[in-house]
Amino acid sequence: MAHPLERALVRLYESFAESSIYNINYLRANSVKDIAESLMGKLKHKLKKRSDMISVQVEEIQEESRIAAQEAAKIRYETIERLLNAPLDGFFRVKPGKHVPHSKNQGFVGRKHELKELRTYLVQAPKNAARLSPAANAHPNPFLLDARAVVVHGLGGQGKSELALHFAYDTFANFESILWVAAETQQKNQTSFSEAARTLSMPLTRSNSTADATKVSGDVLQWLRTTQSSWLVIFDNAPDEDYTFLQKDYWPQGAFGSILITTHTVFLEREFSIPHHIPLGPLDDDASVQMLLGRLPERMSPQAQDTARKLANRLGHSPLALSQMSVDRAKAILKIHRVLQDSSMTKLDDKLKIDAFVRIVTTIQLLHRDFPTKSLAQTKGFDEIRKLGDQFYPYVLTALSRYRDHKLSIAPSPELYDLLEHVFWYLHHRGLSKTAEPYFEIARIIYSEERDANLTKLAFLEGTLGTIHRKSDDAAGAVTHFSEEIRLYEEAVHSGISEAHDEKVAIAYEHMAVATHQLIHYDEAFTWHDKNLQILLEYYKKDVINLAIAFVNKCWALWKTGQLDEAEQTLDWVLATSQTALDMNNQDFQACRALTLGNRNFALRVLGNVYLAQQLWEDAFDTHKLAFHFQIQTWSDKHFETDVLAHRMGCHYERRGKTDKAIERLRAALTIFEMTHVPMESHIIRTRYKLGSVLVLYGDPLEGEKLMEQARHGRQTLRGIAPDKDDIMDAYDTLVPYWTW
């Protein structure tokens, strides 16, 4: 046994020796690094194969998941469709009804224009009045349409509720259901919805009178959303603040519905994305006289007419004041000339005038203390001061009216001068230009009491008015106001009130630059741009925001005159500077405004246009897409300037061959242009022509031809250009202001 074992051990030893010699020789021939790399290569290869297998499995799972999600969505949609189209359990006995808790006012007068507007918006379905949700665009369903809506707004005593009441009775036959909601508080809303449920004979209100209030309002809203009968809901005296309960718990929807809201300010129009608003001011002369005289036997006599007109003027044509005078007159059975003699509104003597002045001055001092200022907005941000501004500006406007009505000869206070500047600045930046415009003449009269001391404030008024005209596509009117603005500043400089390099003077030059640019007077525009920049660069270098805005405005002119390289370099600096300013203080109102409008968005818009001129199509698309994204973030997709970019994106998508996307963007732009209260006629004409031309080639030729024909006749009405002249897109592009390209 020993011998075989020895031989085995010898062989084992020889094998071990050979293996050791081989390993020693291998290590001599190959470095450790090479060996490690060889091993890692093999390991990577194995891992790559395993990774590829896993990737294939993941793709298969994702595809199965996508198909499953589509099937689930289809099932959900079919279920929703079935539920929406099927008769609702519990609602089959509901009958349309009308609940208007006030009697018709037989003495209602005037407001013919406003009533016509209400009929247009709420009874006669206007084009694009109903807005489709994204789901409805994909699967058209009448139950997913929003109701038509209008906001009627104005100061207290202007007759908003009376107008809504008259409209309800005037259209009694047009709606199968009319529901009146007292909207001041959540409790009043709930009470009104309970009345509505009883009016509609809802089963719940008959069988269980103590039903949960929330379920009652929910049932009413569900019926409004699903019924195919026409309805009108009137929210009377809706709150301007603390309105979330209205939006969350009581806001109706439905394809066959209309909503009328009365409130003090236009704020709800923006917050609820309501397409139409009607401002309500004093009555006109004829309606005021008619309200005062009523059915008096002598109402047609010249003496009665003249006396009533004088009284109406003293009452400020306020419907509430006029109605009270009418009631007092009716009770006392007095003739109209006795009403004037006996009323407290007779001509004030000097002592009473002084007392009235003291009351007004006290009011102005309080408002001056509380009204938000531009510096406060710069510190806290505009959104923070908006609630305060919306609360107080109606009182300021009322105080201005009282000041005018009393015709006081005492010099106004410095507080009033400052308050005027604050309120017009606020209304302009709040987008309430139409609200502000009637009061500019009052402000001029007040400032003119001490004209020499108020030259710069008068100039500010002219600059604000000019900006309103320029943004309303009236560049010629803007130039008139800007010329007066510059003249007043130059007079202030000559009088020693201001310095020639005052920043306000530079801004006035910039105003004129953009207005002359809009009139295509480029040489003159460059002159004004250079005068503005000369002051800013020499005296206000640290004010990088105003510098950046000035350079952006000049870049529009550089682009239009083909100076593309200079425009591109300048805009790169503007974008970098704007971002730095925002990073340093993102709460600064002026920085945010400059970044979003004056700098970032405007700079991106003109930079995209520069790229288009250089035929850098992809760069232009990416730049305009980014500007569009920022604009939506800043102002939402319902703002008219957002839809200026929507038009541009529609043009980009057409160039890229994505015609469905192009049509979608152009339709969205046209809808907002047609609904906004800002004058946008030139934009409507241009977008109709563009959308029509795309539809003719890629969509519905009949609709396209109709839109193009509307655009041709619209251009003829707007500019007097024959429909068959310059019938090309380039000609329609020239209709709009430069800043909307």
Residues 615-643: tens digit of each pLDDT: 999 999 999 998 888 877 766 677 777 87
pLDDT range class, residue 448, cuts 50, 70, 90: confident
Distance CA 688, CA 707 (A): 5
Higher per-residue pLDDT: 289 or 218: 218
pLDDT of the residue at 391: 75
CA angle, corner 583, sides to 582 and 584, nearest 5?
90
Q: Which residues of 318-348 are buried (b: 16+ CB within 10 A; e: fewer)?
A: bbebbbebbeebeeeebbbeebbeeeebeeb
Residue 79 pLDDT > 70: no
Please provide the average confidence, as pLDDT, over all residues in the chain: 76
- Pick the closest to residue 661 from 625, 633, 689, 631 (CA basis): 625
CATH 3.30.365.10 describes domain 98-279? no
Residue 307 contacts residue 336 (beta carbons within 8 Å) = yes
Instruction: Give the pLDDT of residue 53.
Output: 75
Per-residue pLDDT, 93 = 62
pLDDT at 130 over 70: no
pLDDT for 260-312, tens place per residue?
A: 988 877 667 766 777 788 887 777 777 777 776 664 555 566 766 777 677 66
Residues 133-152: tens digit of each pLDDT: 333 333 334 334 467 888 88
Express each pLDDT in 512-550 by its tens digit: 999 998 888 999 999 999 999 999 999 988 877 788 888
Phi-psi region of 695 (alpha: psi -120 to 50; beta: other; left: phi over 0): alpha
- Answer whether residue 345 shows pLDDT above 50: no
**Cβ atoms of residues 328 and 338 within 8 Å:** no
The pLDDT of residue 510 is: 93
Dihedral angle sign, alpha carbons of residues 711, 712, 715, 717: negative
pLDDT above 70 for 187: yes
Residue 658 has pLDDT above 90, yes or no: yes
Q: What is the pLDDT of residue 135?
A: 34
pLDDT greater than 90 at residue 662: yes
Dihedral (C-alpha) 409, 410, 414, 418: value to the nearest 10 degrees? -30
Average pLDDT over residues 352-361: 52
Query: Is the pLDDT assigned to residue 87 strictly greater than 50?
Result: no
Which tokens hold the place of 662?
A: 């192009």
Query: In this model, does residue 708 exceed pLDDT 90?
Result: yes
Question: Domain-by-domain residue ranges, the chain?
Answer: 98-279, 285-342, 350-449, 542-740
The alpha carbon dihedral of 299, 304, 305, 309 has a sign of negative
- Report which listed range, 15-24, 97-106, 137-146, 163-172, is most confident: 163-172
Task: Give the global pTM.
Answer: 0.51
State which fold the 542-740 domain adopts: 1.25.40
pLDDT given at position 212 = 65
Question: What HEC string does 111-156 produce?
Answer: CHHHHHHHHHHHHCCCCCCCCECHHHHHCCCHHHECCEEEEEECCC
Encoded tokens for 732: 């329609």
Q: What pLDDT is attached to residue 584?
A: 65
